[in-house]
């Protein structure tokens, strides 16, 4: 079959690979879309399942991350940690992380929730400093890892940018369990703060629009390629 135009060398050399790359990126974004949907569904299923007992140290926590765990013990409010640069509905504040000594003698970090900057100090939220034995449900989380853009933790100032149980144990001198921490659920605290339920379940999922964007770019470039050669062929015919 004779084409209505004759492809020229350099436009073809640059355009065809570019179109193939764009189509590949579109397909990759579709794959990422399905992966993200499965991840969100898995997190949702785990967080809504019945609470389990806190797994003992040495357990493979991968299959248990984002499961609820029920734990009983007493808070050590004297050793609060403050995770900085945490926002809630556009308001800047802190996450309050408190060691809890369980009824089995372990010390586990509980990310109790968010407070505004004005309520960072414990005396501004005395009602929330629950004393005595408590039982709570928390989401099992693995220790956070410093990202490229995060600053280093500042243990000497009790300012933390990522939750690192090993560093927090060294800073406090407490035998804090190093392989996990718990995100407190949405059960209200006395006085209203900290605000629990900070676990992110619905992750950003913009892969569909990215896939469509790459596909449209490939289609547009293909259209430009064809239109260019049709015009070129028409000009040749008029000579």
Angle between helices 207-237 and 9-48 (to 10 degrees): 170
Q: Do 161 and 214 belong together in one domain?
A: no
SS3 call for 175: coil
Q: Do 38 and 87 belong together in one domain?
A: no
Q: Do 71 and 154 belong together in one domain?
A: yes
What average pLDDT does the structure give for the chain?
Answer: 92
**For residue 136, what is the enclosing H or E element?**
strand 133-141
Q: Do 231 and 188 belong together in one domain?
A: no
The range of the structural domain enclosing residue 115 comes to: 67-192
The percentage of residues in the chain with a pLDDT greater than 90, rounded to a whole number, is 79
What sign does the CA torsion over 102, 104, 106, 111 have?
negative
Query: Do the beta carbons of residue 68 and residue 136 sit within 8 Å?
Result: no
In this structure, the strands spanning 68-75 and 91-102 are: antiparallel
Q: Do 71 and 175 belong together in one domain?
A: yes
Query: Do the beta carbons of residue 178 and residue 166 sit within 8 Å?
Result: yes
**For residue 141, what is the enclosing H or E element?**
strand 133-141
Query: Do the beta carbons of residue 180 and residue 139 sit within 8 Å?
Result: no
Q: Do 209 and 187 belong together in one domain?
A: no
In this predicted structure, what is the pLDDT of residue 6? 83
Q: Do 88 and 125 belong together in one domain?
A: yes
Q: Do 77 and 180 belong together in one domain?
A: yes
In this predicted structure, what is the pLDDT of residue 103? 94
Whether the predicted pLDDT of 198 surpasses 70: yes
In this predicted structure, what is the pLDDT of residue 121? 93
What is the rounded average pLDDT of the residues 64-75?
A: 96
In this predicted structure, what is the pLDDT of residue 148? 87
Asked whether residue 49 is assigned to any structural domain, the reply reads no
The angle formed by the CA atoms of residues 83, 131 and 102, to the nearest 5 degrees, is 75
Rounded Cα distance, 45 and 123, in Å: 38
Whether the predicted pLDDT of 108 surpasses 60: yes
Q: Do 84 and 183 belong together in one domain?
A: yes
Q: How many domains does the chain have?
A: 2
Asked whether residue 2 is assigned to any structural domain, the reply reads no
Asked whether residue 58 is assigned to any structural domain, the reply reads no
What is the rounded average pLDDT of the residues 96-112?
A: 97
CATH number, position 168: 2.40.50
Beta bridge partners of 69: 52, 138
Secondary structure (DSSP) of 73-133: EEE-GGG-EEEEEEEETTEEEEEEEEEEEETTS-EEEEEEEEEEGGG-SGGGGGGGS--SE
pLDDT, tens only, 122-158? 999 999 999 999 999 999 999 999 988 889 999 999 9
Rounded Cα distance, 160 and 146, in Å: 11
What is the rounded average pLDDT of the residues 159-183?
A: 96
Rounded Cα distance, 217 and 203, in Å: 26
Whether the predicted pLDDT of 160 surpasses 90: yes
Whether the predicted pLDDT of 238 surpasses 80: no
CA-to-CA separations, 145 to 5, 28, 149, 161, 230, in angstroms, rounded: 56, 26, 12, 10, 55
Q: Do 171 and 85 belong together in one domain?
A: yes
Q: Do 153 and 221 belong together in one domain?
A: no
pLDDT, tens only, 1-54? 566 778 889 999 999 999 999 999 999 999 999 999 998 999 899 998 999 999
Task: Please state the pTM of the whole predicted model.
Answer: 0.80
At 66, the pLDDT band (50, 70, 90 cuts) reads very high
Q: Do 145 and 227 belong together in one domain?
A: no
Q: What is the dihedral angle through the alpha carbons of 130, 135, 137, 138, rounded to the nearest 10 degrees?
A: 60
């Amino acid at each position: 079959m004779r084409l209505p135009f004759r492809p020229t060398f350099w436009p073809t050399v640059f355009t065809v690979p570019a179109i193939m790359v764009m189509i590949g990126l579109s397909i990759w974004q579709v794959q990422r879309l399905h992966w993200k949907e499965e991840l969100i569904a898995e997190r949702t299923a785990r967080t809504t399942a019945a609470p389990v007992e806190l797994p003992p140290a040495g357990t493979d926590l991968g299959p248990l991350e984002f499961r609820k765990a029920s734990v009983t013990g007493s808070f050590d409010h004297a050793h609060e940690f403050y995770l900085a640069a945490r926002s809630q509905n556009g308001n800047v504040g802190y996450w309050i992380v408190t060691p809890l000594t369980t009824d089995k003698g372990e010390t586990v970090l509980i990310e109790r929730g968010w407070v505004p900057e004005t309520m960072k100090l414990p005396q501004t939220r005395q009602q929330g400093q629950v004393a005595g034995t408590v039982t709570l449900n928390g989401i099992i989380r693995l220790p956070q890892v410093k990202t490229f853009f995060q600053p280093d933790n500042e243990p000497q100032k009790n300012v933390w940018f990522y939750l690192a149980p090993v560093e927090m144990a060294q800073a406090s001198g407490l035998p804090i369990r190093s392989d996990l921490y718990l995100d407190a659920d949405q059960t209200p605290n006395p006085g209203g703060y900290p605000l629990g339920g900070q676990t992110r379940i619905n992750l950003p999922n913009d892969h569909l629009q990215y896939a469509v964007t790459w596909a449209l770019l490939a289609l547009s470039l293909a259209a430009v390629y064809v239109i260019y050669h049709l015009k070129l062929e028409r000009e040749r015919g008029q000579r």
